[in-house]
């Protein structure tokens, strides 16, 4: 005990001195600084003037027009916006619940430039745009410039949210992106964790990848519909998507719908 005391006492004295310092008058009655940073009149990166949200959502972001993101141009952005408007219209024809106001919390697991969220924009819902950390291009700044919400995430890990948070999850090319990184079933289980019982998942990926996802989903006794959407996209090929519906969702809406043309 006597050997320990010389070590413990100085620590206790230091702690007591630290506690006393917080009651010093130097830390009292001081004018607080503003905790909210004033919104700049221009983009701090490019110097371009900010536009109102409704206009900024579909306007070309300054990061794109200035060429600060390699490989992305104004033409690329506009084509991406047109493509996602077409895809979202196809989704709505397959699942008419999307426009009903029933889906309020939506997630895009691989958001790109935010085209899906912009095409889906409605005062009835909000979209969490996720930028996978392994993507070749970092376009989270573009998402922010459009007035949308976004976050970085590695889908080999759990997403920081409560279970049963999202009504609709959109997974565009996620499984192909993580093909050699982690197990598809682990990603599916995480999606199942954060999806609400009456929600749905839309997978958009290569045919062989979707068939594998469908097999895993059926193994877990969930009803799955594989719909081939006959539409020309940038690559010139029709790309299928798979809709996974959950428990209490009215399955007739999906089962009776015809693929978009």
**Interval 100-134: pLDDT, tens:** 888 999 999 999 999 999 999 888 899 999 999 99
Confidence tier at 38 by pLDDT (50, 70, 90): low
Segments of the chain assigned E as strands: 105-108, 126-132, 149-153, 166-172, 195-204, 224-227, 241-245
- Whole-number Cα distances in Å, 114 to 20, 146, 151, 203: 51, 8, 12, 16
How many Å apart are CA 220 and CA 192, to the nearest integer? 11
- What pLDDT does 125 receive? 92
Where is average pLDDT lowest: 30-34, 82-86, 158-162, 257-261?
257-261
- Whole-number Cα distances in Å, 116 to 80, 119, 184, 216: 9, 5, 23, 26
Contact 124, 93 (CB under 8 A): no
pLDDT digits (tens, 9 = 90+) for 138-187: 999 999 999 999 999 999 999 999 999 999 999 999 999 999 999 999 99
Is residue 47 predicted with pLDDT exceeding 90? no
Confidence tier at 231 by pLDDT (50, 70, 90): very low
Please give the helix or strand (H or E) that residue 63 lies within, else none: helix 62-65
Is residue 243 predicted with pLDDT exceeding 80? no
Assigned CATH topology for domain 61-255:
Rossmann fold (3.40.50)
Provide the 8-state DSSP code for 42: B
Q: Where are the domains of the chain?
A: 61-255
What share of the chain has pLDDT > 70, as a percent?
Answer: 64
Cα angle for residues 94, 100, 101 (degrees, 5° grid)? 130
- What pLDDT does 6 receive? 41
Place of tokens 């519909």: 225
């Amino acid at each position: 005990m006597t050997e320990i005391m010389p070590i413990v006492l100085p620590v206790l004295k230091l702690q007591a001195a630290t506690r006393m310092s917080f009651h010093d008058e130097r830390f009292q009655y001081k004018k607080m600084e503003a905790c909210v940073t004033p919104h700049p009149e221009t983009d701090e990166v490019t110097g371009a003037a900010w536009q109102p949200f409704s206009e900024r959502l579909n306007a070309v972001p300054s990061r794109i027009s200035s060429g600060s993101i390699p490989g992305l141009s104004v033409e690329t952005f506009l084509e991406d916006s047109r493509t996602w408007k077409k895809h979202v219209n196809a989704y709505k024809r397959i699942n008419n619940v999307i426009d009903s106001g029933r889906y309020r919390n939506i997630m895009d697991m691989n958001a790109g430039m935010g085209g899906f969220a912009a095409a889906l924009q409605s005062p009835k819902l909000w979209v969490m745009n996720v930028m996978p950390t392994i993507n070749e291009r970092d376009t989270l700044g573009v998402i922010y410039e459009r007035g949308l919400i976004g976050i970085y995430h590695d889908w080999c890990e759990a997403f920081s949210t409560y279970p049963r948070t999202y009504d609709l999850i959109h997974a565009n090319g996620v499984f192909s992106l993580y093909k050699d990184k982690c197990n598809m079933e682990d990603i599916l289980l995480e999606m199942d964790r954060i999806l609400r019982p009456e929600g749905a998942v839309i997978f958009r990926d290569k045919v062989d990848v979707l068939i594998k996802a469908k097999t895993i989903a059926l193994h877990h006794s969930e009803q799955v519909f594989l719909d081939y959407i006959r539409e020309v996209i940038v690559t010139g090929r029709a790309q299928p998507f798979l809709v996974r519906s959950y428990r209490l969702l009215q399955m007739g809406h999906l089962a009776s719908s015809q693929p978009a043309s």
